[in-house]
Amino acid sequence: MQTSPEAFIAILGMALVTIAIKAGGLLLADRLPRQGFAAAWLRHIPGAVLAALVAPALVTGSPAEMIAAIAAGGIYILTRNLFAAMAAGVLAVYLARLLLAS
Partner 1 sequence: MPQPSALSSATIDQFLAGARACIPVAVSVAAYGMVWGMLARTAGLSLLEVMMMSGLVFAGSAQFVALDLWTATPSSLPVGPLVLSALIVNLRYLLLTATLRPLYPSSNLGRGALSMYLVTDENWAMTVAAMSHGGGSVAFLMGGGVMAWLSWMTTNVTGYGLGSAIDDPSRWGLDFAFTATFLALLLGMWRSKADLLPWLVAALVAIATASSLEGSWHILAGGLAGSFAGAILEVRKHADQS
What's the closest the beta carbon of residue 72 comes to partner 1, in angstroms?
Answer: 4
Cα atoms in the Cβ-side hemisphere of radius 13 Å centred on 87: 6
Under rule CB under 8 A, how many of the chain's residues touch partner 1? 71
Question: Which of 10, 78, 99, 100 lies at the binding interface for partner 1 (CB under 8 A)?
Answer: 10
What's the closest the beta carbon of residue 28 comes to partner 1, in angstroms?
Answer: 6
| Per-residue b or e along 7-42, where b marks 16 or more CB atoms closer than 10 Å to that residue's CB | eeeeeeeeeeeeeeeeeeeeeeeeeeeeeeeeeeee
Site for partner 1 in 37-96 (CB under 8 A): 37, 40-59, 65, 68-69, 72-73, 76-77, 80, 82-83, 85-86, 88-94
- Say if CB 58 and CB 66 are below 8 A apart: yes
What's the closest the beta carbon of residue 87 comes to partner 1, in angstroms?
Answer: 8
